[in-house]
Structure formats: C-alpha cells, structure tokens
Structure 1
Amino acid sequence: MKKFIHEDFLLETDYAKELYHDYAKGQPIIDYHSHLPPNELAEDKNFENITQIWIEGDHYKWRAMRALGVPEKFITGKATDAEKFQKWAQTVPYTMRNPLYHWTHLELSRYFGIDELLTPESAEDIYAQCNSHLKKPSFSTRNLVSKMNVEVVCTTDDPLDNLSHHITLAESDCPVKVLPTFRPDGLINIEKVDFTDYISTLSKITGITITDLASLGEAAKKRVAYFHENGCRLSDHGLIHAYGYDYTEAEINKILSNRFAEKSISEKEIRQYKSAVLHLLGQLYAEKNWVMQLHLGPIRDTNKAILTKIGINAGVDSIGDYPQAEQLANFLNRLNNSGSLPKTILYNSNPSDNELFATMAGNFTGEEIKGKVQFGAAWWFLDQKDGIKDQLDAVSNMGLLSCSVGMLTDSRSFLSFPRHEYYRRVLCNILGNDLKDGLLPHDMKWIGKIVQDITYNNAKEFFQFPSLVENLSLKR
C-alpha cells in the first residue's frame, strides 16, 4: 500500500515532480520569522515526550480539539501528557481537509520516520516510538532544527531582552545561526495597562530619561543598535492595521505627558501616537538596512473566558475585517517621502485583502533592490494549501512572483519546519500545472532557477544576514 506522505505528495505532474526534486527539495532553509524560544536552543534541550514538543503551545491543535468537543483538561489542563496525546490522536482522523492532517503526518515522517497514520489505535505505539527518539542527543532542539537543513532561524524578541541566549548560541558550536528580531509591541501599545512600566524599564536599561518623543526615539535607537550588534536584521510588528495618521511632535509630547501622568487619552490620540512611533522606528530600521515586517489584520483574544483561564496565545483569535489600504498607504508613503522606507514585508490575515496587499507592495520600489516591499507568504489561517496558492496567485498576477522571499514557519514548535517543504511542493505544483497547460515555456532550467530563488536565494540576498562564518562583535 502506498504511503500517505510519499515522495511525490501534492505533485500532480511530471513537471512539478522535476521542479521539486531537482530544484526545490535540496535548498537550505532561511526561517526568517519564528517564535521559537531561544532559551531552549541555548540549552540544547531534549524534550521528555512528544506531547511537550508537539502539543503544548500549539494553538492550531488546541482549536481542532476544542472543535471536536475535547474537554480543556486534555488540551491545556492537568491531564497527563500521555492522555493529551491520546486525545490528539483521536482528533487527527477528524482533521481531514484541514492542514493539520497534512502537517501532522509530514512531521511524523520527516522527524521520526513514522509513516503510519496517527489514529486512536496507533497512538500508543507512535507515542512510544517518538518518545524513544526524543531521548537521543540527536533529537535535541539544535539537532532537530539542523536536521531540516536550516541555515538561519530568526526568533521574535522584545527590545528589553538582553539577548543572553542569542549570545550563548553565537559563542557555541550551534550548527544553525539563531538571530533575534526586534518586536517593539510594548513601545507602541500606549493604551495597554503596563505601558508606563514598560517605558520605565526601557529608561533604566538605556540610561535615558524618557519624557517625550525625542527621548523615546533615542532610547529606541540605542536598543536597535544593541540588537544590530547581536545579529538582528529584522523587526516585526503585530497590528490590526498600519498607522499613518497626521500628528505633530508637540501633540505626541502632550499625549505622552498625559499618559505618564495616568490621565486618559482618546482613541484619536492613541492612533496619532502609534503613527508617530511607527514612523520613528521605520526610520531607525532604514538606517540599519533592516527589513520591517508588518503582520496586519487579525482580531485577537475573542473568547474572554478562555483568555482569563489560559492567557494570551490560547487559540481564540481569528481573521479580522479592518480597513487596510488607506493607513497602510499613508504609513509607507510618509517613510518613502522622507527617504527612510526600509525593506518591508506585508503579511495579510484576510484573504479578501490579498490583491490589496499585492498591489500596495508594488507601489513602493527601490533602485537596485529586488522586491523592496513584499507581499509576504500566506500567514496564520492562510498558510494552508489553498491559502498558499491564493497568495502566490495574487503575487503572480499583481507583481513579480520571481522576487518573493518565500516561506517561513511563524511557529513556536521545533517540529514545524516541514511547512517549508509543504510550501515548496505547492509552489512546484502550481508551476508544473502551468507547464502542462502550456502557460509557461518548457524551459526547466530557467523555471528551476526561479524556484530556487523563491525558496532560498532571494531571502539570502534580501535580508543581508551576517555571514554564516562571520564573527559578530557580540556585546553583553
């Protein structure tokens, strides 16, 4: 009987098979956006069992289990790890046509060599097999990442972080380059309860008394420089939409003064403040030749009962329907007009906005920079087979697919790297079908080069990461 995950999985034509096996499969991975915990890489941790590495923290799986009516006890509660795995195994057969079904079996195959379908009947044996492997030194966190031919992993890090784990990794024999990403949510979200405490800590770390926009900018500049010295080449922002509202520096200074005095600020003032700080940060990124990532559009933490019980990242977020175009255009245009628009990747959570994002990216170009503003890979709820195809089609129809910097995991799991393989198979299948239908010329060498550019070469050129053999000047 043919294995479910076989060598030509998702590849419908001989053209697709040739493109994948001869051009895409062997490409290294640059995973330029993830949420992997750097401490677990620094420790080179071995997980005790498959539940801890595979189910804990994975809100995709949690959502599927809840949809099936599995009690929370077996999802994020106090059930044993073996019981939680059994409940996941009971859920998997019901996930058919959800990407979880494909990802689950790709991951079992690629990491553990298990090609058997996960079912309630096979669960006990698969649990034992996986746990036996995870005890081996070759299944430590660093080796799990290296096993997938990963060159670079970028984590997601708060500006207040001292980056000690990244420093440890840089000074170690870790086979993968692990670099930080600057994620300044605490600096931007002035409406949050802990905003003033955050700014106070930033002030202490930088030695700069923050009283207004200028001093806030100096403190941010100092942290950007520190991150840059430690290998950071990207920032990341999670927003409902971009902010390009009008403001004056005097208005922002008054807003900050009122906020520091614990006075209320209006919705308009919140928007003005975010517009000012995002513009300031964009200028800092451009000075360092960083790439700015904007993850736009989700509505988060909708189920307050689960949020109260479990906390953030509990799997109760969804696609939002916020207006995107005007503020995104204003934000990018303001930076562009001042000559300080950094290379940028726009990620969209709402499929109805795909063409909007693809065309917006094409509005802002840079001489001698291929794809300066990118419509990023299908994200979150869209990083499944159909969503990937829709994103690739939008980029192809509205811009240049050949300039794309390809896929990323955006994951907290050390077992998520087969998502790159999944993306590559979908990409090659699309191009293979176009070849079959006569929509592309039969020039496999050239189309194969484009596949290699999308899956590796473009990212390497775009991000300008410190050389894999360069000794960074690391500062504690």
Structure 2
Amino acid sequence: MTFIKDNFLLETPQAKELYHGYAKEMPIIDYHNHLSPEHVANDYQFKNLTEAWLTDDHYKWRAMRACGIDEAYITGDASDRDKFQKWAETVPFTLRNPLYHWTHLELRRYFGIDDLLTGNNAARIFWDTEEQLQQKSHSTLGLLQQFNVEVICTTDDPIDYLEHHNSAAQKNTSPKMLPTFRPDKVYAVEDHSGYRTYLEKLSEVSGTRITAYQDLITALKKRLAFFHEQGCRLSDHGLEHLYHFEMNSYDIDTIFGKLMNGHSLEVGEIRYFKFETLVHLCREYHKLGWVQQFHLGALRNTNKRKLAQLGPDTGFDSIGDFPQAINLARFLNTLESTGQLSKTILYNLNPALNEVFATMVGNFNDGSVRGKMQMGSGWWYNDQLDGMEKQLNTLSNMGLLSCFVGMLTDSRSFLSFPRHEYFRRLLCNILGNDMKKGLIPNDLEYIGSLVQDICYRNAKAYFNLGYN
C-alpha cells in the first residue's frame, strides 16, 4: 500500500492545517509548461498510460537508462505495454529520487491506485489505467480539471500560427489556454544554414521579406503583436547565460549579412547577435506589458552520439557551471537604464548560484510593481524536495517569500499537476515548522492567507492574463 497518506510531507499540526485548510483547494495557474496545444484544443484521449506518461518524459528515460534498460523500451519501437513493463521494473530503484514520489502521487490522484508500482503488478495497473483513460474524466481537459487548473500557458515558437489556441478560445475550453512567446531559434545563429531556413519560415508567417537585420526586427514586432492579440502576456528564453556588450560593439548589419551569405560567425559575433536581439525583444515586451522569463544554466546536448541518434531534449542535458552574475546584472541594467525593464522571472538551474539569483532580482525592483523581479521556482533538476526547499529558503532569506508567484510544472505531461500539490505541501511544511518553533507568528489566518497568495493570488495579479 502507498506511503502517500493525507498528511504526506506535513510534519506539524500547523503544517497540516495550512495545507488542508488553505492551500489544497486553491486553483492552479500553470504559467510555464510544454503541453501540446493540439491535445488541449482537441480534448485528446490517451490510448494508455505509456502514451500519457512516458512519451517525451526524459526524467523517466534517464532513470531507465541508468538501470540498464535498452533504448528500444525507452524511445524505440517496443510496444507500449512492453515499455510500461520496463518502466514499472525501474520504479522500485528510483527510491529517494523525485520520480518515486511523483509516480505514486500521480497514480493515486488520477487513478485511485494505492499500490506501489513494480514489475509484478505492471500488467494490472496498465490495463486498469487504460480503462480509466478512455473516460471523459481522463481526457486532456478532464485531467486538468481534476486538479482545478484555471490557466495553462504553453511554450510557442514565433513562427507558430497558434491555430490550436484560437480553436480552444472559440470552444471556451476549461482551463483557459494561452501562448508564451519562446524566441530561442530567432537568435540561434550557431548553425547558419539552419538559421536561414528558419528565417524563411519567419518571413512567410510574418509577411515580411527578411533580407536585413531591421527586417528581422520588423518581422518579430509583427509576431509579437499577433501573439498579444491571442492573449499572450509572457515570453520565455532558454539560455546558458546572458551576454552583455556595449551597444554597437559589433556592426549588427555586417553580422546579419554574413549569415545571409552562408558564412559562419565568430564567437564574439554570435554572442553579440544574441545580446542585441534580446535587447530589442525585451524592449518590445516592456511596451506590451509582458512578463519576461529567463531559464539559465543548462548544459545541453552533451552526448553527441545520442544527439545524432535521438535528437535534442531526450535526456542528455545537465546542470552547467556557467558564470552568471556580472553579465546578468549588466544585461538587466541595460534595460533598466532606459526604463524598459519588464517584470522578470529568473530561473536558476545551478543550486550553487541560488544566492546570486536571489540577490540579483532585488537589485532591480523599483517600487512600480509588487514583486516585479522574481526568483523563479525550483527548475528542472531542482523541482524536487531538496531543491524546492533550498529555493524557498534562499528566497525567504534574501527576498520576500510573500511576493513569490509560486510553482509551475514545466512539463510535457498532462499527469504532472500533482507537482503543484507537492510544492504546496512543502511550502506549508516549512511555514508550519517555523510556526511550531516560534520563528513566525502562530497565526493560522495570517500565514494561511500568505500561503494562498503564493499558491494562486500572486500569480493571478502578476501575469495580468486578461480574465476575472
């Protein structure tokens, strides 16, 4: 039987009351994820738990590889039933990895299954969940509604037509689905050949013939306006780290001309192109009143053989040890110096730099917006018990926990929303322990209201997503 009881992770009477009385029933605004807009718009029904649970989940893939599972059962052509069997055989060996908690929390919350998943009961659980997944309660919208999800913000490329978002809006689906502008490919100039192919697509969708750098900026402004019309109020960027230069350190038109003529760029030219293009984008975000997000610190595609075989985002990325502070400060100051710094969330992948990020956001609050600058929630390798606690404690010590916009899933899985529950339990446990120790007032109404702010109300006010 499961170890996940009603008071899972809640160590004190105060923690239990905070969670059950204040946090548990709050709606969810999942402001960053990688869910399929098409699945939302079409209210997709998954065939089985392998499709719903294992497809695109590189967390699980990494664990299976570590256990010696052949790639055929991970990303290969084995049957869904056989892939699930191999995952079930792996689960007992994930003890103390967050996958062990998430797996059993998701089985219990969505399917009412209290058994610990093993190879021995895999067949029964596979067929039991398959039957439930055919019910309307377990369609994509049904799964989201089970967790009281109010809004999801997907991650979308500037060339996306957002037809699925438009379809969902016309159907008035619940939860509400909004796009997020993710322009990573706009400044991915390392591969000049692939970049020119991308520009051709951007030219087509924007109706702008891109032959010079200013044409690129014009095309991006058109796409930003289109995204804004579709309800987008957030941008997002995945970068190793931010770059900073004095403006015009390089001639951007010359760099762009080299790209268009099929020439490779030097390292300094690549970095400058990213810098100036990001500055242009961030100034546009400010005009539109958007929130900008920066996910910093991932060392991606480290295994080149596997990259060639399986492509990116397949489980071969890790935490990087990039220097962050100096250029991050200078980049933000470039925008602040002209009064064009938007509301900003900084996500840190290297926990050794938590204090750097927590103090950095405080440098650029200006009193214009409550919690304008945010230290983002524990991200990727840090969205687990220890990582979340470290993020919350660092934020509390060096910033204002009360202004925090809370948790997100950052997931491709419609079964990931118990991560919000996991976060809320940890938050309540930290505060409940502080109450018991006398470190903060033993006032449930006061602390409970703060918990509800962090779980929901702060995000609703901060993102200005255009609904009541």
Change (3 A) 1:180 1:295: same
- Give me the TM-score of the superposition, normalised by structure 1: 0.96
CA distance in 2, matches of 1:356, 1:410: 22
Tell me the equivalent position of 2:452. Answer: 452
Structure 1 Cα separation of the partners of residues 203 and 367 of structure 2: 38
Residue 230, structure 1, aligned to residue 230, structure 2: yes
- 1:84-127 residue CA offsets vs partner (Å, 9 max, x unmatched): 11111111011000000000001001100111111112211111
In the alignment, the residues of structure 2 paired with residue 462 and residue 214 of structure 1 have an alpha-carbon distance, to the nearest angstrom, of 32
Q: Is the 8 A contact 1:246 1:272 kept in 2?
A: no
Q: Cα deviation per residue 1:399-421 (whole Å; 9 max; x = unaligned)?
A: 00111000000000000000000
After superposing the two structures, state which structure 1 stretch, 255-264 or 209-218, moved more.
Answer: 209-218
**CA deviations over 1:203-239 (Å, ceiling 9, x no partner):** 2222223233332222111100100000101001000
Give unmatched runs, 5+ long, in structure 1. 469-476
1:350 is matched with 350
Please show how residues 376-387 of structure 1 align to structure 2 within 5 Å: 376-387=376-387
Give SS of 1:194's match: helix
1:352-398 deviations in Å (ceiling 9; x for gaps): 00000000011011323111110000000010000000000110011
The residue identity in structure 1 corresponding to 2:135 is K
Alignment of 1:91-130 (within 5 A): 91-130=90-129
Q: Within the alignment, does 1:417 sit opposite 2:417 as a pair?
A: yes
Alignment partners' CA distance in 1, 2:54 and 2:201: 34
For the pair 1:16 / 2:11, whether they are aligned, the reply is no
Question: 1:250: Cα distance to partner?
Answer: 6.7
Instruction: Tell me which residue corresponds to 2:55.
Output: 56
| Aligned position for 1:370 | 370
Match of 2:81 in 1: 82
Aligned-partner Cα distance in 2 for 1:161–1:264: 27
User: Which residue identity does 1:453 align to in structure 2?
Assistant: D
Aligned to 1:473: none
1 CA distance for matches of 2:329 and 2:194? 30
2:28 aligns with 29
The C-alpha deviation readout for 1:7-62, integer Å capped at 9, x for no partner, is: 10000000100110111001000000000010111111111110011011100000
Aligned partners of 1:132, 1:366: CA distance in 2, in Å?
54
Q: Distance in 1 between matches of 2:116 and 2:414?
A: 21
Name the aligned partner's letter for residue 15 of structure 1: Q
Matched with 1:137 is 136
Which residue does the alignment assign to 2:188?
A: 189
Aligned residues: 467
Hey, what's the Cα distance between the residues in 1 that align with 2:62 and 2:225?
A: 39
**Structure 2 gap segments, 5+ residues each:** none
Tell me the distance in 1 between the aligned counterparts of 2:75 and 2:202.
Answer: 33
Partner residue in 1 for 2:221: 221
Q: Which amino acid aligns with 1:319?
A: I
Name the aligned partner's letter for residue 289 of structure 2: N
- Percent of aligned pairs with the same amino acid: 55
- Alignment partners' CA distance in 1, 2:37 and 2:206: 23
Write the letter of the residue equivalent to 1:304: K
Q: What is the SS of the residue equivalent to 1:171?
A: helix
For 1:70 and 1:263, the matched residues in 2 are separated by 42
1:106 counterpart letter in structure 2: L
Query: Matched residue of 1:12: which SS?
Result: coil
SS at match of 2:251: helix
Which moves more between the two structures, 173-182 or 193-202? 193-202
| Partner Cα distance (2:334, 2:256) in 1 | 22
Q: Which residue of 2 aligns with 1:269?
A: 269
How far apart in 1 are the matches of 2:153 and 2:356?
Answer: 27
Whole-angstrom distance in 1 between the partners of 2:295 and 2:173: 29
Q: Distance in 1 between matches of 2:106 and 2:98?
A: 12
Q: 2:301, 2:316 within 8 Å by CA — same for their partners in 1?
A: yes
Shift of 1:314: 0.6
Counterparts of 2:215 and 2:379 in 1: how far apart (Å)? 35
Query: Pairwise mapping of residues 155-170 of structure 1 onto structure 2 (< 5 A)?
Result: 155-170=154-169
How far the C-alpha of 1:463 sits from its partner, in A, is 0.2
Q: CA deviation at 1:249?
A: 8.1
Match of 1:69 in 2: 68
For 1:405, give the aligned amino acid: V
Give the Cα–Cα distance (whole angstroms) in 2 for the partners of residues 173 and 319 of structure 1. 39
Look up the SS of the partner of 2:345 in the other structure. Answer: strand
The answer on whether the counterparts of 2:435 and 2:441 sit within 8 Å (CA) in structure 1 is: yes
Q: Confirm or deny: 8 A CA contact 2:250 2:272 kept in the other structure.
A: no
Aligned match of 1:309: 309
What SS does the aligned partner of 1:254 have? Answer: helix
TM-score normalised by the chain length of structure 2: 0.98
Q: Is the 8 A contact 1:212 1:252 kept in 2?
A: no
**1:258-291 CA distance string (max 9 Å, x none):** 1111122110011111110000000010111111
